[in-house]
Amino acid sequence: MSAPEFLTIDNSSRIAYRRLEGQSPGVVFLIGHGSDMDGAKALACEDWARRNGRAFLRFDYSGHGQSDGNFLDGTISSWTNDCLAVLDRLTEGPQILIGSSLGGWLMLNVALTRPARIAGLIGIAAAPDFTAELIWDSLDKTQQTQMQDTGQIALPNPYSDDPVVYPMALVTDGKAHLHLQAPVNITAPVHLLHGMQDDEVPWQTATRLAEKLASENVQVSLVRNAGHRFSEPDQIALLGDALDGMLAKLS
């Protein structure tokens, strides 16, 4: 695979990306926490865009993949800013945002900040508010105190023997971006895909988010046997179907 291109932001930090030229609306893939732009879902979406002649962009947030930065320095604010910089400088016209897990939270932030640029949203195990509900609220008082005192906490990783380290700054910053407790003023079409065997982000997150969205065109697809990664062949096929359906709505 050829080397990615890089977008310089904040005068020094570089964001790695790969881009296809094509028709509008284009598609932008927003990766999950700790993932990278070369994952199965991002590549499948790129294949879909190529077959359909659509512009496509995938990239790594700061501290992820081939981009500059320290992973533990990242916050919801900083990663949202990465997404906005990429949208503003590397795409033209309306875009369909596809957000996986953390990316599903960031796509909401982007849609609220750049509503005129957003044609539609597709969430895959979207995880808005996870820093509050799935990290902080899951800790007992002793763990919360430990996290505040040390500035971080290590929790079990379902995909590795090494734990996941969550900085306190991520939790603190996340409070400014919570969406599940109030209406979300997004009016573009939204399709939320979520596995009912997801052990990381409860599938009820999708239905709660659907109830908060202002859009009159919100679809939720729950897949009984799918987990958080949503990367099995039949699940990837559902993602392609969601893209087909979104394009049909926009046409």
Q: Which residue in 33, 64, 177, 228 is the catalytic one?
A: 228
Which two structure tokens, joined as six digits, stand for 178?
Answer: 């919570």
Q: Which residue in 35, 82, 101, 179 is the catalytic one?
A: 101
Phi, psi (deg, nearest 5) at residue 142: -65, -45
**Alpha-carbon torsion angle 84, 231, 96, 193, nearest 10:** -110
CB 114, CB 87: distance < 8 Å = yes
CB 200, CB 158: distance < 8 Å = yes
- How far apart are the C-alpha atoms of 68 and 1, rounded to whole Å? 19
- Exposure string (b/e) for 57-85, b if CB count within 10 Å is 16 or more? bbbbbbbbbbbbbeeeebbbebbbbbbbb
Residue 125: CB atoms within 10 A of its CB come to: 28
Active site residue 77: no
- How far apart are the C-alpha atoms of 119 and 249, rounded to whole Å? 10
**H or E stretch including 50?**
helix 40-52
Pairing of strands 118-124, 190-195: parallel
3-state class of 148 per DSSP?
helix
Active site residue 101: yes
Q: Show which residues are catalytic.
A: 101, 198, 228
